[in-house]
Structure 1
Amino acid sequence: MPDSTDTDGLTVGQVSARLGVTVRALHHWDEIGLARPSLRTTAGYRLYTAGDLERLHRIVVYREIGLGLDRIQAVLDDSTADVPGALRAQRHQIAERIERLQRLSAGLDRMIDAHERGLLLTAEQQAAIFGPQWDPDGPAQARERYGDTTQWRQYAERSASRTAEEWQAVADEVADLDRALAKAMDAGVTPGSEEANHLVERHREVFASYFPLSRQMQVCLGRMYEADPGFAAHYDGIRPGLATWFRSIVDAAARAHGIDPDTATWQ
């Protein structure tokens, strides 16, 4: 390389600042022969000329659109390289990446809405799926009460990806379970029996549509179903005494697994 005075060209640091490229990257490109500075000072320091900067600008652009360094070198140095073809192929990859990012953005929007609203359904859809007695303000009230809990986050993640048809399937499973509970109580199924324990397990499985339910958490739910006026009205509206009977079979199943229902906590 020809010598130069200290005032000719730009130093590595100056080029780094001008192009927004790290000094380390410039040194690497120099080492692999992708972009070597054309000049040296009398003290041996490398300097970049205007031609070097032009090449570096092209490298930065090609790298920004996703070309690898080997491909960039071929585009710059191989006279037989199909530059338009390489750029078209890269444009196609970028278009696919944009489409993926747009899908990701839409998914994130749904996730945000689900965390804030709970159900991503209109009031009309909620009434059609959950029945005319359903309170469309219920999810907002639940968020206000439970929005800081792990279970609300789990519920929101499920809700974000669930369609109206899938919510209908969940509602149908819940209704089938309610009917099975009422039928079992009418038949005199006793707490702790095999049939009662099967219904308790089925309840945990169905409830997992909202969030995973441990046995201790299920005991707490059983208490709430009996004590909370809204839940008690729902179950006792199906069969008088159903809320208390359901709690009794949950407590019996918990005892069989070494859990004291009187001391069980939400965990």
Structure 2
Amino acid sequence: MPDTMDADGLTVGQVSARLGVTVRALHHWDEIGLARPSLRTAAGYRLYTAGDLERLHRIVVYREIGLGLDRIRAVLDGSTADVPGALRAQRAQVAERIDRLQRLGEGLDRMIEAHERGLLLTVEQQTAVFGPRWNPDWPAEARERYGDTAQWLQYAERSASRGPEEWRAVTDAMADLDRALGDAMDAGVLPGSPEANHLVERHREVFSSYFPLTRRMQVCLGRRYEADPAFAAHYDGVRAGLAPWFRRVIDACARAHGIDPDTATWE
């Protein structure tokens, strides 16, 4: 169809360009009787008059504020007696959407910060939650070391939704597990026993507060618990020799699930 100006009106293409509305939308509004062009050329092309263009302007305005086409028709054709009431109802819906978007923006800000910092707690809050031996530099060091891993991404996603109380619950669960491990070792629980395997499963469940832990990843952690001085010191602080005992317990449970602890990798 030629996009030329007729003496008596505007073509569909011209109206589309002028109002920023697609030709498809204009055709649809014509088909449903919402905004029909008043004129046709001899060749049958639609032509919109100044009055048609005014109605289209109003449709665009009402559509932009979120009114549905049926509601727009009622407003334009005067079939609703309470236009201000209809607009107030739409204003309330817009306010709700703004509020949802505001919360979404705040959530995105927390997610960004969690990816960058790891913990969304002040130094004072970290000390109160994790204890006086906690080093506030550890989250930054962890990001430097693991920031490009899938596990850091999963950790950050969990961290973004946690405040001091949620982190305290995680810390308490880990402390309860440490005590249970120490008590089990004192009681002579043997690696591979049902009691030992239950503790291994409990460790995977509690640790998954940080990120999902597979059995192979758990084997790798067990090695590190024994070999890393900081981890070994932590477990020795619970019970002397707890780190190597816990590693044996993890390895025995892995074997029961068909995993060779000597060849297990972080996957």
Structure 1 residue 188, shift from structure 2 partner: 2.2
Is residue 150 from structure 1 mapped to residue 112 from structure 2 by the alignment?
A: no
What's the offset of the Cα at 1:218?
0.5
| d(CA) in 2 for partners of 1:228, 1:130 | 20
Structure 2 vs 1, CA of residues 183 and 9 (structure 1 numbering), >3 Å: closer, same or farther?
same
CA distance in 1, matches of 2:179, 2:46: 83
Aligned to 2:190: 190
Q: Which residue number in structure 1 is paired with residue 215 of structure 2?
A: 215
Structure 1 equivalent of residue 162 of structure 2: 162
The equivalent residue for 1:108 is 108
Q: CA deviation at 1:150?
A: 1.7
How does 1:1-267 map onto structure 2 within 5 Å? Answer: 6-267=6-267
TM-score (norm 2): 0.94
Deviation at 1:148, TM superposition (A): 1.8
Pairwise CA distance, 1:186: 2.1
1:74 and 1:81 in contact (8 A); partners too? no
Aligned-partner SS, 2:261 = coil
**C-alpha distance in 2 between matches for 1:229 and 1:255:** 26
One-letter amino acid matched to 2:189? V
Question: What amino acid is the match of 2:239?
Answer: R
Residues of 1 paired with 2:230 and 2:17: CA distance? 65
User: Unmatched 5+ residue regions in structure 2?
Assistant: none
* 1:199 Cα offset (Å): 1.2
Q: Deviations over 1:93-120 (max 9, x none)?
A: 1111111111111111111111111111
Residue 171 of structure 1 aligns to which amino acid in structure 2? T
Regions of 4+ moved over 3 Å: none
User: Partners in 2 of 1:206 and 1:15 — Cα distance?
Assistant: 62
Q: Secondary structure at the match of 1:262?
A: coil
SS in 1 for 2:169: helix
Where does the alignment leave 5 or more consecutive residues of structure 1 unmatched? none
Rounded Cα–Cα distance in structure 2 between residues aligned with 1:185 and 1:169: 25
Q: Which amino acid aligns with 1:250?
A: I
| Whole-angstrom CA distance in 1 between matches of 2:149 and 2:84 | 54
1:81: Cα distance to partner? Answer: 3.0
SS at match of 2:40: strand
* Other structure's SS at 1:132 match: coil
Q: Which amino acid aligns with 2:31?
A: E
Shift of 1:252: 0.7
Relative to 1, partners in 2 of residues 1:42 and 1:6: Cα closer, same or farther, differing over 3 Å?
farther
For residues 264 and 111 of structure 1, the distance between their equivalents in structure 2, rounded to whole angstroms, comes to 32
Cα 1:80/1:193, change in 2 over 3 Å: closer
How far apart in 1 are the matches of 2:241 and 2:80? 85
Task: Compute the displacement of 1:23 (Å).
Answer: 0.2
Q: Which amino acid aligns with 2:14?
A: Q
| Residues 36 and 52, structure 1, Cα contact 8 Å, conserved in 2 | yes
Q: Structure 1, residues 178-202: CA drift from partner, whole Å, max 9, x if none?
A: 1111122222222112221111111
TM-score (ref. length: structure 1) = 0.94
Q: After superposition, what is the alpha-carbon deviation per residue over 1:37-79, rounded to whole angstroms, capped at 9, x for unaligned?
A: 1222333322112211111111001111111111111110125
- Percent identity for Structure 1 against Structure 2: 84
Q: Deviations over 1:201-254 (max 9, x none)?
A: 111111111111111110010011111222122112222221111101000111
1:115 is matched by which residue type in structure 2?
H
Secondary structure of 1:112's partner?
helix
CA distance in 1, matches of 2:221, 2:116: 23
Cα displacement string for residues 103-142 of structure 1 (whole angstroms, at most 9, x for unaligned residues): 1111111111111111111111111111111111111111
1:80 shift after superposition: 4.6
